[in-house]
Amino acid sequence: MATRTAIIEQIYEDIRDKILKNEYTPGSKLSENSLSADYHCSRTPVREAIKRLEQDGFVTVLPQSGSYVKELTLKDYQHIAEVRTYLESLAFRLNCENEVDITPFSAILDAMDRCDMDNPNEVMTFSDLHFQFHLEMVKASGNEILLTTFNRLNLNTNSLLFYQRLSTQGKVQTQEEHRKILEFLEKRDATRGEKFMFAHLWRKRNAYKRSRV
């Protein structure tokens, strides 16, 4: 029989994954009664899972109203992009020090190259692969605190939103920059590569800031 902690963890992970996959859309209400029925448990573990989701930035709890999937503003996205830029630039430097093999990253970029940006489903596939490319870069750093901090940014949702409107030309520019990042990584050029990674990600931050005007 599963322990109370295990049940809370299962509910937390399941709701989190559904939010990241947009099965629970921003602004939608999470009913404790419905969720407890879905998971065949009392409301207590559901409430505990929602509390964790709130702490991790997935859910907003409003007094006398209920729990809702958090709706991020353009300002939120800008702030996320700012933090992300520094985290991933550090990951790049650590990858150079660790002499990380670029082969797995190249394979992800090859799959991204094959995506047809005129096909909405493949745009989403491109977006998922793009997120995977950056996530694997952070994982390869070997710094668990860095990875934990990166994961708390919930970048999968952020990435999907940004790339739904990505054009073929935008894809070409993005992929050229990704290949350049791998070039620097293969050469172990931490200084120039870190600077290039910073510029690559800060450009997204600037796009969010301009959209707010």
Judgement on whether residues 95 and 52 belong to the same structural domain of the protein: no
Judgement on whether residues 62 and 157 belong to the same structural domain of the protein: no
By residue range, what is the domain housing residue 8? Answer: 4-69
Judgement on whether residues 52 and 89 belong to the same structural domain of the protein: no
Per residue, the 3-state secondary structure of 147-192, as one string, reads HHHHHCCCHHHHHHHHHCCCCHHHHHHHHHHHHHHHHHHHCCCHHH
- Report the predicted TM-score, pTM, of the whole model to 2 decimal places: 0.79
pLDDT, tens only, 47-82: 999 999 998 888 999 988 999 998 888 888 899 999
Judgement on whether residues 161 and 198 belong to the same structural domain of the protein: yes
pLDDT, tens only, 105-148: 999 999 999 999 888 788 888 888 999 999 999 999 999 999 99
Cross-strand pairs, 8: none
Say which amino acid occupies 102: I
Judgement on whether residues 55 and 137 belong to the same structural domain of the protein: no
Sheet containing strand 59-62, strands side by side: 29-30, 66-69, 59-62
Judgement on whether residues 97 and 11 belong to the same structural domain of the protein: no
Judgement on whether residues 86 and 183 belong to the same structural domain of the protein: yes
